[in-house]
Amino acid sequence: MHILPAIDLYGKKAVRLLKGDYNNMTVYSDTPETVAADFKNQGASFIHIVDLEGARDGTTPNIDVVKNIIKSSSLFAEVGGGVRSVECIEKYIEAGARRVILGTAAVTDKVFLRDAVSRFGDKIAVGVDVKDSFVAIKGWTENSGVECFDFCREIANIGVKTVICTDISRDGAMRGANIEMYRRLSESFSLNIIASGGVSTLNDVRRLKEMNIYGAIIGKAYYTGAFLLRDAIAEAEKK
């Protein structure tokens, strides 16, 4: 299983939200590049980057920071937040992203999603952000009315290979991962599922690995020192 430490960007800083609430934001670093350097020093091969302003507004205000993070760290980067056009996908790929995450647009514009998968193949991932069993959009501020499992079935049929599934109620709350949801997803679909939201102990990592989940995102647990990133990576890579 892959461990993907996360950097959420807002105002060119590394921040964390509590349960997706923009009014409940903690700034952890004014220099996200140094955070990425520490990820690498602790043995990370991957990085998960989200432009929170982009997610909310459909823009790319932090693209220069994204580019600097990828260039300075040379980690395999997946990037999301406000990706709603082919031009935006191309911009992130040119910035060095190896995978680009579609969120709102994957829910609201299936023509765009199909076109993106056709053009870019497995460089496209979809963020499935779940609140009360439904997919949330526009930086988690709106309920799409689309049920999580129905949506996963639809995008799998379109050809999406990788899904970043976040339980919003647990994101940043240090309550543990929603193990049952990830178990059901892994049993229902042959997608590369990346678990996000609430991964707060090494036992969470262990249990996700046992389910053959493709990856787990480590966010607040890293920033608060709940465990060492290197220990999570070692746990995930155990034979």
Q: Is 108 exposed, middle or buried (0-12, 13-18, 19+ CB in 10 A)?
A: middle
Residue found under tokens 């430490």: 5
Where are the strands (E) in the chain, listed by range?
Answer: 2-10, 13-18, 21-29, 46-51, 76-80, 99-102, 124-131, 134-137, 142-147, 162-167, 192-196, 215-218
Residue from 8, 51, 167, 204 carrying the catalytic annotation: 8
**Residue carrying the six token digits 């499992």:** 149
CA separation for the pair 166, 15 (Å, rounded): 17
- Known active-site residue 129: yes
Catalytic residue among 51, 129, 167, 204: 129
Rounded distance between C-alpha atoms, residue 162 and residue 68, angstroms: 25
- Positions marked active-site: 8, 129
